[in-house]
Amino acid sequence: AQSVTQPDIHITVSEGASLELRCNYSYGATPYLFWYVQSPGQGLQLLLKYFSGDTLVQGIKGFEAEFKRSQSSFNLRKPSVHWSDAAEYFCAVGGLTGGGNKLTFGTGTQLKVEL
Amino acid sequence: EAGVAQSPRYKIIEKRQSVAFWCNPISGHATLYWYQQILGQGPKLLIQFQNNGVVDDSQLPKDRFSAERLKGVDSTLKIQPAKLEDSAVYLCASRRDRGVQEQYFGPGTRLTVT
């Protein structure tokens, strides 16, 4: 069965500081990995995705993530956080399986940005 | 391109009442998903449609939840009767086809059962 672990429930950073959100996954085949962001009262917006190829992927809003197969990780990073980045971030894993290509989400990391 | 539309945005009902949510996916998207997101948790898949057929409903509590996508476009999710533990945000998402993994989400419907 596929699963995602986001070990940090809450993270607080100062504006301008760097950010790393952790994500570990369990998946029996080649995983497709995603990071989504959810602002209060909003749906989920895709930040970036990894399907294959270069293990460092760039996304929107200056975010990037690195796929490390040996560590089963897909951590999200941003070199300089802006106050508008405060939101909840979800990591998800999926794949081309007989289960209909469904995504499994982690429990999320709530990001607070201090001015 | 218009995004995934959902209505209503908010709904408050008493336990044992029924409720229905509506979703209109992005035009041309064959796959439609309904997720339940309980406060403090990630979205959990309830049901997946491919056109008007059900692909996966293994997580759908079928004794009280039902969903349909009759013409392969709009979809309705119903709860009857509602329980307190059904309080959550119900998210609809769509995807173009099987080969493309990216899902696009609507704003969700926040359900409160009192």
Kindly write down the DSSP assignment for every residue of chain A, as one continuous string: --EEE---SEEEEETTS-EEE--EEE-SS--EEEEEEE-TT--EEEEEEE-SS-SEEE-GGG-EEEEEGGGTEEEEEESS--GGG-EEEEEEEE-SSTTTS--EE---EEEEEE-
The minimum CA-CA distance between B16 and chain A, rounded to whole Å, is: 26
What pLDDT, on a 0 to 100 scale, did the predictor assign at position B3?
92
The chain B residue lying nearest A4, using CA atoms, is: B42
Range with the largest mean pLDDT of A23-32, A49-58, A84-93: A84-93
Tokens for B61, please give them: 């509590």
Query: Of the candidates B93, B91, B50, which has an alpha carbon nearest to the alpha carbon of residue B72?
Result: B50
pLDDT tens, per residue, chain B with 114 residues: 689 999 999 999 999 999 999 999 999 998 999 999 999 899 999 999 988 899 889 999 999 999 999 888 999 999 999 999 999 999 999 998 766 578 899 999 999 999
User: Rounded mean pLDDT of chain A?
Assistant: 91
Query: Does position A69 have pLDDT exceeding 70, yes or no?
Result: yes
**Cα–Cα distance measured from residue B72 to residue B67, given in angstroms and rounded to the nearest whole number:** 12
A-chain CB neighbours of B31 within 8 Å are 101
| Residues paired with residue B88 on neighbouring β-strands, in sequence order | B111
The minimum CA-CA distance between B91 and chain A, rounded to whole Å, is: 7
Residue-wise over A14-25: b if at least 16 C-beta within 10 A, else e? eeeeebebbbbb
Residues A106, B42: C-beta atoms closer than 8 Å: yes
| Tens digits of residue pLDDT in A3-53 | 999 999 999 999 999 999 999 999 877 788 999 999 988 889 999 999 888
Query: Does position A95 have pLDDT exceeding 80, yes or no?
Result: no
Considering only CB atoms, A99 lies closest to which of B56, B91, B104, namely B56
What pLDDT, on a 0 to 100 scale, did the predictor assign at position A52?
84
What pLDDT, on a 0 to 100 scale, did the predictor assign at position A100?
53
Residues A44, B43: C-beta atoms closer than 8 Å: yes
Question: Looking up tokens 């119903």, which residue turns up?
Answer: B78
Residues A41, B107: C-beta atoms closer than 8 Å: yes
Residues A43, B108: C-beta atoms closer than 8 Å: yes
Residues B105, A103: C-beta atoms closer than 8 Å: no
**Cα–Cα distance measured from residue B26 to residue B32, given in angstroms and rounded to the nearest whole number:** 9
The minimum CA-CA distance between A24 and chain B, rounded to whole Å, is: 14
Residues of A engaging B, defined by a Cβ cutoff of 8 Å: 4, 32, 34, 36, 41-46, 49, 51, 90, 92, 94-96, 99-108
What pLDDT, on a 0 to 100 scale, did the predictor assign at position A43?
87
